[in-house]
Chains A and B, each alone.
Chain A
Amino acid sequence: MSAAAITESGVARRILIGAALLFLLFFLLLPLLSVFAQALPAAQAGMARATASFGLGDVGTAIGQLAAGFRESLGPYLAAIENSDAKAAIHLTLLTAAISVPLNLVFGLAAAWAITKFDFPGKGILITLIDLPLSVSPVVAGLIYILMFGANGWIGPWLMEHDLQIVFAVPGIVLATTFVTFPFVARELIPLMTEQGRDDEEAAVSLGANGWQTFWHVTLPNVRWGLLYGVLLCNARAMGEFGAVSVVSGHIRGETNTMPLEVEILYNEYNFLAAFAVASLLAGLALVTLVIKSLLEWHYGHEGGAHR
């Protein structure tokens, strides 16, 4: 049977590809580009002038205009990022991710080990519960910590007595971020380790390796790329979380503002350039995450790939 019978004609194929790319252009590419364009308005203007010159065939002028536009943009852009509130927000975001990501990494490894290397009743329920935070609204994720640790919460009064503050302070931000990024490492590892089975570990153990040796020398090398991708995704989400953190943050500038919250405040103050400048750092992080993910996928097949 010829292949032509199970594919579309060249015209139909081109129309379908064109439609898909057009959709992605309007809903993914333009939003991404606009972050950088809004953060560097002079560069955008320079690019427009350069395009016009280029159209007239004046390549030299075009390059000059392009360079001038970028130079002109760079000052305000750097000023927005080096602003003390923005710097404090960057610090807090890095701190939050530095606590939440390792916690969820350890949990992901422990949960994946227990789930994939052993049989026990209730495993399916455990897997569903691990995915639970994905289906909870970020706003609800913030609310539950207020109900736990807020002034009228379950242990709020006790915390007040001991002069401890969790919500509307940094610990609350870390907790809410940990909740939201909870499943990312585990859900990368569980399908991967299920697929790889238990034979390698059983061989190692029967040859006298102890649990740690088996984990370090057998399991970890087998799952490192999937693990790396899970950590990257976890980190991207931890640094970018908005809804949950917004609810538990005290919104005190320079103290309890993360980068996404700083973006919101700047935006609501109509300081669009600064808002998009901080946003461009987060968009850059997202791009780096996607690039590394794609590289892992190209080099290691689907092992490093996303499952959802």
Chain B
Amino acid sequence: MRTELALAPNVTESSVRQARSMASIVKHRARTRYRSIIPGFGPTLGFALFYLSLIVLLPLSTVFVKSAGMGFEAFARAAFSPRTLDAYKVSFGSAAAAAAVNMVAGLLVAWVLVRYRFPGKQLVSAMVDLPFALPTAVAGIALTAIYADTGWVGHWLAQIGIKAAYTPLGIVIALIFIGLPFIVRSVEPVLADLGADVEEAAASLGAGRLTTFRRVILPAIAPALMTGFALAFARGIGEYGSVIFIAGNMPFSTEIAPLRIVQQLEQFDYAGATAIAMVMLVVSFGMLLLINAIQIWSRRRMA
């Protein structure tokens, strides 16, 4: 513990001495009990835990309690009906496809933003966060408008026989939009921190740029890429607003899992909705664990 007395204006000699002696008492205490002299631990932690329990934990527990009370067979029937199974496939498949596209495109965008200078770079950098700030429903109708057969991009795609809106491809397009910033913002800082010395070493040993990228840069940013992939995938499987407008929502082909929950709720089948929600929560928590594991692994590898 270090006290920075220089920061406070108008410090008198005596107050400095007083502070020093207090600091030494604090240090003595800190050695024995690690107690901070800063006040407010009880109230702030208490409020944070109370609010967390009230808004997040207690409401989330309803899904687990209700699922546990359903009995295995009823749960399986609701959570794994053929139509719902297909919806999982659509959700997980398109989220994985979109995250994979974003892994390449996001790395490219991050690379260009970190390594090169070009006019309008600041604007481009700001644009990358658009999917965080733009409401999902707005993104949904806008993407549908441009990728529909009559849209700005859709009519070109239609001429070469590709139908984007109201097909699984449309879902992937929406999830690419939603997931892009996760990859860019995960990779960017790692790429920026990467020292030039390792690349110079690789070059001086005769490696070309591609070899250096593949053997030196890619392994260094791999954990960040995987974290970005996992974040984008986790967001993609739960995404609703941007997808339902462009998806077409046809049973067994373009129906996503969150939509199945909404449909069960519309029929007042709360148990059915809860069972699907339970499956999705388990997958989300699994992704969360995976992300933490990647981060612990990469920290250990760097050390």
Chain A contact residues, CB within 8 Å of chain B: 1, 5-8, 12-13, 16-17, 19-21, 23-24, 26-32, 34-35, 38, 103, 106-107, 109-111, 113-115, 117-120, 126, 128-140, 143-148, 150, 152-154, 175, 178-179, 182, 198-208, 210-211, 214-215, 233, 236-237, 239-243, 246-247, 259-261, 263-264, 267, 272, 275-276, 279, 282-283, 285-287, 289-291, 293-294, 298, 306-308
20 extra interface residue pairs, beta carbon distance < 8 Å, beyond A20-B108, A143-B265: A6-B199, A17-B112, A20-B105, A21-B112, A23-B109, A24-B128, A27-B180, A29-B127, A107-B47, A133-B56, A138-B241, A139-B277, A140-B261, A152-B270, A198-B1, A202-B1, A239-B135, A247-B261, A263-B138, A286-B134
Shortest C-beta distance, B214 to chain A (Å), equals 14
The answer on a CB contact under 8 Å between A19 and B265 is no
Q: How far is the CA of A12 from the CA of B108 in the complex (A)?
A: 12
The answer on a CB contact under 8 Å between B129 and A110 is no
The answer on a CB contact under 8 Å between B145 and A38 is yes
The answer on a CB contact under 8 Å between A206 and B258 is no
The answer on a CB contact under 8 Å between A207 and B62 is no
**B77 at interface by CB-CB < 8 Å:** no
Q: Which of B264-303 contact A (CB under 8 A)?
A: 265, 270, 273-274, 277, 280-281, 284-285, 287-288, 292
The answer on a CB contact under 8 Å between B133 and A113 is no
The answer on a CB contact under 8 Å between A135 and B238 is yes
Answer whether A283 and B134 are a contact pair too, CB < 8 Å, given A139-B240, A143-B274: yes
Q: How far is the CA of A128 from the CA of B281 in the complex (A)?
A: 15
The answer on a CB contact under 8 Å between A289 and B108 is no
The answer on a CB contact under 8 Å between B270 and A147 is yes
Chain B residue numbers with a CB within 8 Å of A29 are 127
The answer on a CB contact under 8 Å between B109 and A24 is yes
B16 and chain A: residue at smallest CB distance: A207
The answer on a CB contact under 8 Å between B135 and A210 is no
The answer on a CB contact under 8 Å between A199 and B146 is no
Chain B residue numbers with a CB within 8 Å of A145 are 59
The answer on a CB contact under 8 Å between A236 and B133 is yes
The answer on a CB contact under 8 Å between A31 and B177 is yes
The answer on a CB contact under 8 Å between A205 and B142 is no
The answer on a CB contact under 8 Å between A290 and B130 is yes
**B48 at interface by CB-CB < 8 Å:** yes
B281 contact from A16, A140, A240, Cβ within 8 A: A140
Chain A residue numbers with a CB within 8 Å of B180 are 27-28
Chain B residue numbers with a CB within 8 Å of A32 are 130, 134, 142
Shortest C-beta distance, B196 to chain A (Å), equals 6
B186 and chain A: residue at smallest CB distance: A308
Chain A residue numbers with a CB within 8 Å of B52 are 107, 111, 126, 129-130
Contact with A along B226-258 (1 / 0, CB 8 A): 000001001101111100010000000000011
Chain B residue numbers with a CB within 8 Å of A133 are 56
The 10 closest A-B pairs by CB, nearest first: A240-B135, A137-B238, A242-B241, A243-B240, A147-B62, A5-B203, A114-B45, A286-B133, A211-B39, A111-B48
The answer on a CB contact under 8 Å between A31 and B139 is yes
The answer on a CB contact under 8 Å between B238 and A136 is yes
**B3 at interface by CB-CB < 8 Å:** yes
Shortest C-beta distance, A136 to chain B (Å), equals 6
B130 and chain A: residue at smallest CB distance: A28
Answer whether A243 and B136 are a contact pair too, CB < 8 Å, given A135-B234, A175-B55, A214-B38: yes
Chain B residue numbers with a CB within 8 Å of A306 are 129, 132, 185
B58 and chain A: residue at smallest CB distance: A148
B59 and chain A: residue at smallest CB distance: A144
The answer on a CB contact under 8 Å between A198 and B237 is no
The answer on a CB contact under 8 Å between A143 and B277 is yes
The answer on a CB contact under 8 Å between B63 and A147 is yes
**B162 at interface by CB-CB < 8 Å:** no
Chain A residue numbers with a CB within 8 Å of B55 are 175, 178-179, 182
**B160 at interface by CB-CB < 8 Å:** no
Chain B residue numbers with a CB within 8 Å of A106 are 47
Answer whether A117 and B109 are a contact pair too, CB < 8 Å, given A144-B60, A282-B135: no
Pick 5 A–B contacts, CB within 8 A, sort by A: A5-B200, A16-B111, A140-B63, A236-B132, A240-B136
B137 contact from A236, A264, A307, Cβ within 8 A: A264
The answer on a CB contact under 8 Å between B62 and A34 is no
The answer on a CB contact under 8 Å between B116 and A13 is yes
Chain B residue numbers with a CB within 8 Å of A215 are 40
